[in-house]
């Protein structure tokens, strides 16, 4: 791997090629060293003795050797390790806090295909590490230091039963039960394949599952939140009240209505925000969302008298804005939803349980609840092999964008966004009709090609 190892969601790459066992071990050693030098362990727990880490993973085959490497690195650095086994990312975050651990580690590449994998660290309390700490870990990779020996080395034990603690936490957060509700779950052959059905069954739902037979190689393969056709068919065929699709590590979800309509992250957030507002639990009557949220979401919030704070794309930026400004609810159109009163990160299981609970509490079908938002047609064009620097500085492009924005008025929106990883500029246009959005996006994409090539 080249350049900065940590991206917006940990360290990712093809397991065995980019993300090797050696790198996984070195990252774990460096993480233990950095946090230990910072005094984080002793001061955070107020005790003497070895720090404690929890380690979880999704079902990818590569997770087995990466878990072994991470555990070895931590234990050799004097950290006691609790192996949680296969669990969702938000479960690892929750258990980092609930068990009083000093560090959490999750091995997953989320919605990526099976050959990929990733390492994500959580600080004490279950929050992701800030950029500064990630940078320190990178800088100290391979550093020589006097590691513990003898009785001072870390000990390792299995803690698979802690999954029940996570499920119980989810159920305790619910405002009501799901008795009799028929739900189809698509678990993406991923980390939620056991805990998601269990949580919904214990909440009273009648549950059918697809994508719940992981073999280490089939995660996200034609299933999950990025492949909704199978879930849509299963919901309609079975006459279920709703369907829920998780991604590989279950930190996000999307929904399907009884009629087969997709309910995206914006619509899920609207349903939950309105419910929280009615219950008086929506902090500052404001939702935090990214610039990619549909304008229809913003208009629906405004109609309900609720505010919206926009951030850059990425759930970590949503969470940062929430924590810095005292908000407790936010998320992304992709289905990452952060309910800060109950979780420290996006949690697909938590989100789906609260969404379904609002269906049963309101006595209204999901179709009707989701219809509170009219989704404006949104067209995204990726213009490849152009200069992002030229796009940022182009007066002609700026003028073209201003003209399109004037023509749209309050009925549409334009977003020109350079890719964070490729020589590409993304052009997004929302308008009252699909035809208008396509025409204007095509026009702006041509301006980008002409002026920024």
Task: Specify the 3-state DSSP secondary structure of 104.
Answer: strand
CATH fold of the domain at 378-452: TATA-Binding Protein (3.30.310)
CATH fold of the domain at 174-370: Alpha-D-Glucose-1,6-Bisphosphate; Chain A, domain 3 (3.40.120)
Residue 110 falls in the annotated catalytic set: yes
Distances (CA, A) of 42 to 94, 137, 149, 236: 21, 19, 19, 54
Q: Is 37 annotated as a binding residue?
A: no
Q: Is 249 annotated as a binding residue?
A: yes
Of 286 and 422, the one with more pLDDT: 286
Report DSSP letters for 151-182, one per residue: GGS--EEE-GGGHHHHHHHHHHH-SS--TT-E
Burial class, 173, CB count within 10 angstroms (exposed 0-12 / middle 13-18 / buried 19+): middle
The two structure tokens encoding residue 453: 């090539």
Q: Is 247 annotated as a binding residue?
A: yes
The two structure tokens encoding residue 434: 């699909």
- What percent of the chain stands above pLDDT 90? 83
Phi, psi of 144 (to 5 degrees): -85, 130
List all residues 6 or more positions away from 406 whose beta carbon is below 8 Å from its beta carbon.
Answer: none
The catalytic position among 44, 77, 110, 394 is: 110
Q: Which of 134-138, 163-167, 185-189 has the lowest mean pLDDT?
A: 134-138
Residue 93 pLDDT greater than 60, yes or no = yes
C-alpha to C-alpha distance for 293 and 267, rounded to whole angstroms: 10
Residue 286 pLDDT greater than 90, yes or no = yes
- C-beta separation of 391 from 448 below 8 A: yes
Of 45 and 388, the one with more pLDDT: 388
Residue 228 pLDDT greater than 90, yes or no = yes
Angle between helices 163-173 and 348-362 (to 10 degrees): 30
What is this structure's pTM?
A: 0.91
- C-beta separation of 271 from 370 below 8 A: yes
Please give the pLDDT value at position 42: 41
Residue 40 confidence class, pLDDT cut points 50, 70, 90: very low
State the pairing for strand pair 286-290/424-430.
unpaired
CATH 3.30.310.50 positions along the chain are 378-452
Please give the pLDDT value at position 410: 83
Residue 47 confidence class, pLDDT cut points 50, 70, 90: very low
CATH 3.40.120.10 positions along the chain are 11-160, 174-370
Residue 218 pLDDT greater than 50, yes or no = yes
Using one digit for the tens of pLDDT, what is the confidence trace for 327-359?
A: 999 999 999 999 999 999 999 999 999 999 999
CATH fold of the domain at 11-160: Alpha-D-Glucose-1,6-Bisphosphate; Chain A, domain 3 (3.40.120)
Q: Which helix (H) or strand (E) holds 201?
A: helix 195-202
Please give the pLDDT value at position 337: 97
List all residues 6 or more positions away from 265 whose beta carbon is below 8 Å from its beta carbon.
Answer: 252, 254, 293, 331, 332, 333, 334, 335, 336, 337
Please give the pLDDT value at position 419: 78
Average pLDDT, the chain: 93
Tell me, letter by letter, the H, E, C secondary structure of 370-400: HCCCCCCCEEEEEEECCCHHHHHHCHHHHHH
C-alpha to C-alpha distance for 335 and 248, rounded to whole angstroms: 13
């Amino acid at each position: 791997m080249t350049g900065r190892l940590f991206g917006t969601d940990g360290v990712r790459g093809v397991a065995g090629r980019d993300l090797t066992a050696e790198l996984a071990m070195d990252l774990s050693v460096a993480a233990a060293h950095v946090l230990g030098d910072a005094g984080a362990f002793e001061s955070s727990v107020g005790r003497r003795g070895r720090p404690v880490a929890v380690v979880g993973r999704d079902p990818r085959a590569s997770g087995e050797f990466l878990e072994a490497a991470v555990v070895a690195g931590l234990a050799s650095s004097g950290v006691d390790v609790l192996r949680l086994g296969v669990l969702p990312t938000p479960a690892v975050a929750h258990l980092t806090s609930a068990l009083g651990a000093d560090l959490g580690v999750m091995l997953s590449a989320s919605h990526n295909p099976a050959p990929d994998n990733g390492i994500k660290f959580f600080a004490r309390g279950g929050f992701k590490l800030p950029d500064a700490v990630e940078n320190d870990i990178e800088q100290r990779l391979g550093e020589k230091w006097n590691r513990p020996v003898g009785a001072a080395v870390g000990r390792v034990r299995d803690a698979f039963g802690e999954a029940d603690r996570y499920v119980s936490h989810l159920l305790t957060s619910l405002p009501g039960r799901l008795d009799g509700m028929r739900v189809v779950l698509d678990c993406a052959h991923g980390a939620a394949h056991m805990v998601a059905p269990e949580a919904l069954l214990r909440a009273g739902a009648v549950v059918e599952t697809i994508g719940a037979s992981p073999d280490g190689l089939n995660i996200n393969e034609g299933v999950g939140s990025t492949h909704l056709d199978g879930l849509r068919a299963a919901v309609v065929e079975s006459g279920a009240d709703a369907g829920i699709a998780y991604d590989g590590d279950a930190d996000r979800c999307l929904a399907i209505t009884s009629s087969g309509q997709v309910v995206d992250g914006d619509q899920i957030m609207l349903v939950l925000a309105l419910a929280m507002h009615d219950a008086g639990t929506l902090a500052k009557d404001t939702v935090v969302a990214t610039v990619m949220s549909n304008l229809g979401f913003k208009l629906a919030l405004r109609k309900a008298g609720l505010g919206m704070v926009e951030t850059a794309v990425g759930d970590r930026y949503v969470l940062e804005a929430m924590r810095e400004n005292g908000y407790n609810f936010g998320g992304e159109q992709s289905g990452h939803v952060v309910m800060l009163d109950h979780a420290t990160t996006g949690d697909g299981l938590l989100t789906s349980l609260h969404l379904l609970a609002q269906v049963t509490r309101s006595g209204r079908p999901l179709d009707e609840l989701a219809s509170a938002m009219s989704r404006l047609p949104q067209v995204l064009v990726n213009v490849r092999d152009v200069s992002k620097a030229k796009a940022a500085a182009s007066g002609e492009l700026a003028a073209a964008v201003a003209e399109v924005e004037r023509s749209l008025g309050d009925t549409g929106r334009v977003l020109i966004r350079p890719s964070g990883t490729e020589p590409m500029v993304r052009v997004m246009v929302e308008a009252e009709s699909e035809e208008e959005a396509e025409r204007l996006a095509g026009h702006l994409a041509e301006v980008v090609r002409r002026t920024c090539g």
